[in-house]
Structure 1
C-alpha cells in the first residue's frame, strides 16, 4: 500500500489525488491536508462570486473526496501542528499543493499606506475568507485605482462596479455586499504598464465590463495600436483587443454614475498621502523592441482613495522546504523537490494558467511517485498521522464535517444566493458543534 499526503485542498490537490487514484487504484491511501476546515481552496476563495459556473468543478473534487481511499484532513496547519519532516517519515510521498495565496509585493514607496490593498486580501474579503473577513477596505471615496493587466484586475473592477441586483445568484460574502452597497466610488482607473496587445485579460471577462448597469468602460483611442496589427494576435487576444476598441469608440453620453478608465502605458512608481493613500504617481512608458515597458520620464498623479494591487501572487515558504524567492514558489525540478517531496500547481509553477492547467501537474506527480517509490516503503501513513495529531490535541475536520458546514451555509443563504459563507474559523467549527 502506498501512502500519499497532499498539502492543500484546492484544484491542484484534488487533481493530484484523482491522478493517484487512477494510477494506483486500491493500492493507495491519500490524505488531503488543509489548514482551513473547508476544502476547495481557490474555488471557494479565489473564483469570483458572480462566476458560479466555474465553481461547478468542485463536484468533480467531491467525487474524489468521497472515495474510500481519500480523506480530507481539515483544520491542520503544516508547520505548527505537523512538520514536513514528520510527514515524510509517515508517508511514502508528500505533495505540496499550497497554491500561491500571498500577494506579490508592489515594491514602491508608499505601498504600505492605509488604503493600499493586495488582490489576495481584497478577493479574500469579498469571498468570505476567514483571514480577510475584517479587512474593511475604504470604499467611501470617489476614486479607486486597480493595478494589473490580468483577469484578477478585471474581477476586482467588476465587483467594485456592480449593483446589488447584479449580484443576484452569486455567493459574495454578506459583509462585502453590504459594504459595496454603501460605496462612494465614481471612477476606477486600471493602471497597466504596457499596451493593449500585451494584456493577459480574456475576452469573456473584458466583455462583461461592457454590460454593467451603472458603469461605463473607456479606453483612450490614442493608446490603441493600428487596427491592422491585431491580425498578428492569437484569436483570443484578438477578441480581447476588439473589446478594448469598442470601449474606445465614440458613444452617446450616458448617465451611468461610474467610469472605468483603462490607463495603458502607466507604471506606478509611488503612492502618496497624508496618513493614508490620496494619489498614485505613475510614469508614462513605451515599449522597447522586445515589447518591454520602459519609462519615458513623464510622470503624473491619479487621485486614489483606494489602491488594489493585482500584480501576481507568491507561495509562502515552509520550513524545511527549498524555496525560490525570485520565482515565489518552491524550488523544484519538474515537480520534484527532494526524495519523496513534490510540488504541483502554483506551488510548482508559480501563479499562471487556469484551473484546468493544474490537472497535468497532478498526473505528472502521480507518475513520479510511481517511478520513485515503487509499491511502498512500509511507512505508517494515515494511522501514524492520526496518532501524532491526537497526541497533540489536534481535532481534524473531515469531509463529512464539511458537508454539514456546507448544508448550514446553504440554509442561511439570502434569497437567490447558493450559500452564505461562515467567515470565521469559530463559526465554521460551531456549525459542526466544535465551538
Structure 2
C-alpha cells in the first residue's frame, strides 16, 4: 500500500484470553512498512497474546517515509507518505523545471524511484506552491547553509547538487491568506531563524489580523502573531539574518494559472498567478479568483499542494475521488477481514502522532472483530510460510529483516566515514548485491 498507509487481512483464531488456547493463533498480514503498518502491528502484538504479524514492503528497506519523508534535518518528524502527488492541472506543469514536492523530497532523501530526478537548480528564484510544512521543508533545504546539511543523512548526490545551486530566493505561494496557512509554528520559527537568510513578509498582508485572531485557538493565534512580528521587523533585526545573501517570503491569495515557458519553449521561466479574494473565514474560507493576474519570474517550480494514494489492487475497493479505501473505523467496506490505516484510510492529512492514533484505532477494530467472532477462526493460517513458497516458485528472493540489518550497517559505516548519521544506498540493485542476492 506504500509508505502512506497500510492494508492488511486479519484471520485465524484466538484473541487474548477469551478464546481457547487450543485455537490457532491469528495471522495478520500488513502490507506497507511505514508508520501506519508498524503502529498497527505494535498495537496488535501488545494487546493480543497469540497474534502473529507479517509485514510486507515493496522496497528492500523498511520504515517507509520514516526513512524517506519530509527533511533530513528533521529526523524526529518524518511521517508523510502516499504513493502519488496531486497534480496542478494547469498548462505548462510538465515543463522542465517543474517538480512535485513528493519527487523532490524523495530525491534529497534517497528514495530509489527519485534518485535520477536531477533537478535544475541553476536559477536564482524558486517558487513553491503550497503553505504547508512540506513546503517549508523544501524551502529550508534549498536555502540552508551546506555545513548544516552535511551533518544530516541527506544523500551525497543531493548535497553536491545543492552545493552548486544558484537558488538564493524562494517564494511560497498559497491560494488563501495568513489565517489559512497549514504549516506549524515550530517550522516557521526555524525558517525565520535560518542563518544567512532573510524572511520577506509584506506588512500589508497582515492588516487587521491581530484583532481577527484574538478569539482563535492558541496555536493559530501564536502562529499569526509570529508572522506579523516578522513582517514588521526591520532587516537585520534577527542575528541569523546579518549580511543575509538569501531570502524567502510568503505570498498570499495567489492561485497558479499557467507555468510560463521560456522563449524557446524548453523550460519554465515563471508562473502566471490569479489573484484571489476570500469568501468565508477561518479554515472554511474559499479562494475566489478576482479576474486580476500577475506573473512571477522563477526558473524552479515545486508543487506542494498535497499527496494522494493509489489503488492497491482491482479486488480492493477504492474511492478515486477522495483517494482512499472506503472504510468504517478501518474496516474495508464490502471486504470482511480486510482493514486499512494511514492516509489511504483517511486522506493525506496529519503527521506521525495522527497516524499513530489512527493505526491504533484500526488495530482495535481487528481485535474487536476477533473477539466478536467476525473473523474466520476455524482454519490455521500459514502466513509467510505459504507466501514464501509462492515467491520461490516465481523465482523471487525476498529481503529479510536480517538482510536489512546488513544494509543498515553498511549505510551507517559509510556515513560514519563522512561524518554523517548514515549514507543511504539509493540503488536497489546495489542493496541486493550487498546482501548476496
State the TM-score, normalized to the length of structure 2.
Answer: 0.86
Tell me the distance in 1 between the aligned counterparts of 2:188 and 2:233. 18
| Structure 2 residue 3 is matched with structure 1 residue 12 | no
CA deviation string 1:290-348 (max 9, x = no partner): 51111111100011111000011011112221111111122223312111111101110
Offset at 1:359?
A: 2.0
Q: State the secondary structure of the residue aligned to 2:389.
A: helix
Moved more, 111-120 or 372-381: 372-381
Q: CA deviation at 1:400?
A: 1.2
Please name the residue that 1:249 is paired with.
Answer: 232
Moved more, 31-40 or 313-322: 313-322
CA contact (8 A) 1:186 1:258 kept: yes
Instruction: Check conservation: 2:150, 2:159, Cα contact below 8 A.
Output: no
- Equivalent position to 2:366, from 369, 374, 382: 369
Aligned to 2:15: none
Structure 1's 420 and 376: CA in aligned 2 closer, same or farther, altered over 3 A? farther
Contact 2:121/2:300 (8 A) holds in 1: yes
The reply to whether residue 261 of structure 1 matches residue 221 of structure 2 is: no
2:56 corresponds in structure 1 to 33
Query: Hey, what does 2:70 align to over in structure 1?
Result: 47
**One of 226, 231, 238 as aligned partner of 2:214:** 231
5+ residue gaps, structure 2, are 1-24, 237-241
The one of 323, 326, 329 equivalent to 2:324 is 329
- 1:286 counterpart (248, 273, 277): 277
Aligned equivalent of 1:339, options 336, 339, 344: 336
Please give the per-residue CA displacement for 1:218-242, whole angstroms capped at 9, x wherever unaligned: 1111111421222222222222222
- Give 1:122's aligned residue: 104
Three-state SS of the structure 2 residue aligned to 1:321 is coil
1:32/1:285 Cα in 2 relative to 1: closer, same or farther (>3 Å)?
same
The Cα shift of 1:374 comes to 6.1
CA displacement at 1:367 relative to structure 2: 2.6
- Contact 1:15 1:359 (8 Å CA) reproduced: yes
Superposition RMSD on alpha carbons, in Å?
A: 1.7
Distance in 1 separating the partners of 2:88 and 2:36: 27
Secondary structure of the equivalent of 1:278?
strand
1:344 counterpart SS class: strand
1:432 aligns with 2:414: no
Distance between the aligned counterparts of 1:143 and 1:423, measured in 2? 28
Deviation at 1:379, TM superposition (A): 3.1
Shift of 1:368: 2.3
CA–CA distance in 1 between the matches of 2:63 and 2:221? 33
Aligned to 2:396: 394
Once residues 109 and 357 of structure 2 are traced to their aligned partners in structure 1, the CA distance between those partners, rounded to angstroms, is 27
Residues paired across the two proteins, number: 392
Corresponding residue of 1:81 = none
- Change in Cα spacing, 1:44 to 1:376, as seen in structure 2 (3 Å) is farther
Q: Which moves more between the two structures, 367-376 or 141-150?
A: 367-376
- Secondary structure, in 3 states, of the residue corresponding to 1:12? helix
Q: Are 1:420 and 2:423 an aligned pair?
A: yes
Q: Deviations over 1:157-206 (max 9, x none)?
A: 00001111121431111110110011001211111111111111101100
Shift of 1:51: 1.0
Note if contact 1:100-1:350 (Cα within 8 Å) is conserved in structure 2.
Answer: no
- Give matches, 1:18-417, under 5 Å: 18-25=42-49, 27-54=50-77, 99-226=81-208, 227-252=210-235, 255-273=243-261, 274-290=265-281, 291-319=285-313, 320-337=315-332, 338-370=335-367, 371=369, 372-373=374-375, 375=377, 377-413=379-415, 414-417=417-420
Report the Cα offset of residue 14 of structure 1.
0.2
Could you tell me how far apart the structure 2 residues matched to 1:236 and 1:51 are? 21
Query: How far apart are 1:408 and its partner, in Å?
Result: 0.3
TM-fit CA distance, 1:270: 0.9
What is the rounded CA distance, in whole Å, between the counterparts of 1:374 and 1:183 in structure 2?
58
1:147–1:191 Cα contact (<8 Å) kept:
yes
Partner of 1:217: helix, strand, or coil? strand
State how far apart, in whole Å, the 2-side matches of 1:357 and 1:306 are: 32
What's 1:72 paired with? Answer: none
How far residue 366 of structure 1 moved from its aligned partner, in angstroms, is 2.3
Offset, 1:430: 2.1
Distance in 2 (CA, whole Å) between partners of 1:318 and 1:162 is 37
CA distance in structure 1 between the aligned counterparts of 2:124 and 2:150, rounded to whole angstroms:
25
Do the aligned residues in 2 keep the contact of 1:173 with 1:420 (CA within 8 Å)?
A: yes
Using the size of structure 1 for normalisation, the TM-score is 0.87
Question: Which residue of structure 2 lines up, in the alignment, with residue 84 of structure 1?
Answer: none
